[in-house]
Amino acid sequence: MKKTIGIVGQKQDGHVQSLLQACRQKGLQAYVFDFTNFPKYNLLTVSSSSGGSSVAGPAISFDDITELAGIPVKDCDLLLVRNLGSSIGLATDTAEAVRHSTQAGCGALALEHSFIRLMQKHIPVINNLTAARFHSAKAWLFFLLHSQGIRVPGTLVTNDPARARAFVKELAGRVIAKPNASGAEVVMADEAFFGRNKEILLHRPFIFQQYVSGRSFRAYTLGGLIISAGEIHFDRSYVDWRERVQRVDPCLVEPAVADQLTKAVRTLGLAYCGVDFEYDQYTNQSYLLDFNPSALFTGWSQLVNLNMAEKIVEYALWVLEHKTYWYDEIVQ
């Protein structure tokens, strides 16, 4: 029977479009669960009663304004989560409007989480919510990986300026500061940083981390296997290379680093992941820096000339066939 893939993401997103195209090329049925403006154009019902049938378990129905026949949730064999969507706090006109839209957004996001968790109980989900959560809980991620013997930069999370300064001193000033929840510019933790963030630091803990710099790489993994890797060239007058990529040279990952990568994504449970790692000239070691559960891939596809969407869909089919997420459980 024709397999059905559900994709959670924005219909307009090029990544979702390319996943849909790859599904169709493989003869699969595919539907998008788009929560961007939820519940404006959708109706989602989760019910403990299955409408008189004796089948146990909740009944879920999801309608979308553009899918006239509705989305047959129970036919989905696997869910690909491109990203969670909701327009939290988009209103900016009045304080009341901001409060209302934030509350509505939080409610919508909470229901989207419940929807995915319910699906997780029945079908494979790539990536599941527990694994995806790591990206915005970096303190948890770094300490977990460190405890597994995986080489990540030395890390201190605190809102105590004295402890942060002591850590900077211990590492002879080679320390960056980044937010615990991702998504902001990463900068050197120098005196200018402490001056600028004197007040903020008291209210918001930062991650202070050993500054590693030399050569920057990214690898994409599916089921713990590296499917593509490349060295990123960017303007090194900045610490943060996001948005500043000049060129990517495809490369092979050194076996010792590849082992660490596999161990790390398995520890985190990330079936699909974009892993950033850095070869540090100062210590002559490679460090795993960031694990992106919804790593962008269409730009990368072009840069390295590889159809990533097709790889992801092929992997989804492999998961369905083998009933595991991890290649090394099957391939020896």
The residue ranges that bind ligand ADP (CB under 6 A) are 153, 176, 178, 182-183, 186, 209-213, 239-242, 276, 289-290
Strand pairing report for 29-33 and 4-8 = parallel
- For residue 138, what are the CA distances in angstroms to 83, 86, 142? 18, 22, 6
> What does 9 bind: ligand ADP, Mg ion, none (CB cut-off 5 to 8 Å by kind)?
none
> What does 176 bind: ligand ADP, Mg ion, none (CB cut-off 5 to 8 Å by kind)?
ligand ADP
Question: In the complex, what is the shortest distance from the CB of residue 211 to ligand ADP, in angstroms, rounded to a whole number?
Answer: 5
Are the beta carbons of 325 and 301 closer than 8 angstroms?
Answer: no
Query: In the sheet where 78-81 sits, what is the strand order?
Result: 29-33, 4-8, 78-81, 125-126
Complex with ligand ADP: residue 185 or 329, whichever CB lies closer:
185
> What does 221 bind: Mg ion, ligand ADP, none (CB cut-off 5 to 8 Å by kind)?
none
Binding residues for Mg ion restricted to 279-308, rule: CB under 5 A: 290
Q: First and final CA of the chain: distance in angstroms?
A: 29
Question: In the complex, what is the shortest distance from the CB of residue 84 to ligand ADP, in angstroms, rounded to a whole number?
Answer: 15
Question: In the complex, what is the shortest distance from the CB of residue 176 to ligand ADP, in angstroms, rounded to a whole number?
Answer: 5
> What does 183 bind: Mg ion, ligand ADP, none (CB cut-off 5 to 8 Å by kind)?
ligand ADP
Are the beta carbons of 101 and 80 closer than 8 angstroms?
Answer: no
Complex with ligand ADP: residue 109 or 239, whichever CB lies closer:
239
Complex with Mg ion: residue 64 or 290, whichever CB lies closer:
290
Amino acid (one-letter) located at 130: T
Token pair of 48 as six digits: 């403990």
Question: In the complex, what is the shortest distance from the CB of residue 166 to ligand ADP, in angstroms, rounded to a whole number?
Answer: 18
Are the beta carbons of 116 and 6 closer than 8 angstroms?
Answer: no
- For residue 229, what are the CA distances in angstroms to 24, 283, 304? 26, 22, 9
Residues in contact with Mg ion by CB under 5 A are: 290
